[in-house]
Amino acid sequence: MSVPVIAGLGTAHPPSADQQELWEKFFSQHFSGSTRALAERIFAHSGVTRRQAAVNPLLEDVSDWPTERRMLRYQVEALPLGKEAVGRALTAAGLDARDVGLFVVCSCTGYATPGLDILLARDLGMAATTQRMFVGHMGCYAALPGLGAVGDFVTARGRPALLLCAELTSLHLQPSSARMDTQQIVSHALFSDAAVAAAVVPGGRGYAVREVASVTDTSTADHMTWEVTDTGFRMGLSPKVPQVLSAHVRGLVDEVLARHGTRRSEVDGWAVHPGGPRILNVVERELGLAPEALAASRETLNDHGNCSSPTVLLILDRLFRSAPAPRRVVMLAFGPGLTLYAALLERSA
């Protein structure tokens, strides 16, 4: 059986925007009254300094666009972003597009048929026999089940596979006339755009995917939602999410590590999805981590915001490029369900 190894990562970002400038020149006018004061505090404490936007509200306000128009724009913006990320991942892994046996695309911010998987496979010159899978509506944790799928394919078939996570949250800015509760303000303050691809091969140098595991607390399914409306997709984000994570994250991590004869103290790389500063604080506390253990997650939040599914891969890329690179990495991501996903990676020779 082949060991699946992440041999290359590729990232792509649309232009950056300064968080304070976004607040002062757009969002401060988007809210009014007591809601404006609340929004200003949330933006100031978001942990975000810069984020990226394919559709920057300072240049183009899409908040009143119907969903159909947003979806047409998704195709225009997502295709070149995904192509850039995939090209970089293939180059890093020393692969040709025709080598890819399975191409998995994760995205919850746009839909089209033919989808990104078909259009990118065509434009990049993948073989007609390349298998494809599109993962939608899993939200922020989608990278990890996607990684599990490509890892299983590599193990079973002994052929390379490719994962792409591409999200354009900037397309789902809600109109100022809409109900602006705290959940919606948090969404506007945190979310960002990005694409990240991971090339996974049978054996060799890189990071071996030892396990991908999950736990879902369906009793809290209403705590995180992503509703399709006539004016884009609307986020629902309960303030109780950190409380649910605190009840499950330690058990999930310890069970995964125990199956591989490993303890938390032996993990020297943590890629934890920064759903927001409170999420990182809860994970740090529940796992008994030193503050510096989540530095890569906090830096990614600061520099890129919450990009939904690509975010945990952005953190992984930051860890891989650090010196010295970690030997053993735990990835954690969270999303609708409420669902917690974990993956254990180990550096191979």
With 0-12 CB in 10 A as exposed, 13-18 as middle and 19+ as buried, what is 213? middle
- The two beta strands, 102-106 and 193-202, are unpaired
User: In whole angstroms, how far apart are CA 225 and each of 7, 46, 183?
Assistant: 34, 20, 10
Whole-angstrom distance, CA of residue 262 vs CA of residue 272: 18
Continuous segment of H or E residues that includes residue 213: strand 206-216
With 0-12 CB in 10 A as exposed, 13-18 as middle and 19+ as buried, what is 59? exposed
- Rounded to 10°, the helix 295-304/277-287 angle is 170
User: In whole angstroms, how far apart are CA 107 and each of 3, 50, 268?
Assistant: 26, 22, 29
Which amino acid appears at position 284 of this protein? Answer: E
Whole-angstrom distance, CA of residue 310 vs CA of residue 205: 23
Say whether 307 is catalytic: no
User: In whole angstroms, how far apart are CA 52 and each of 46, 148, 190?
Assistant: 15, 27, 11
List the catalytic residue out of 106, 108, 140, 307: 140
Whole-angstrom distance, CA of residue 273 vs CA of residue 141: 8
Positions annotated as catalytic residues are 140
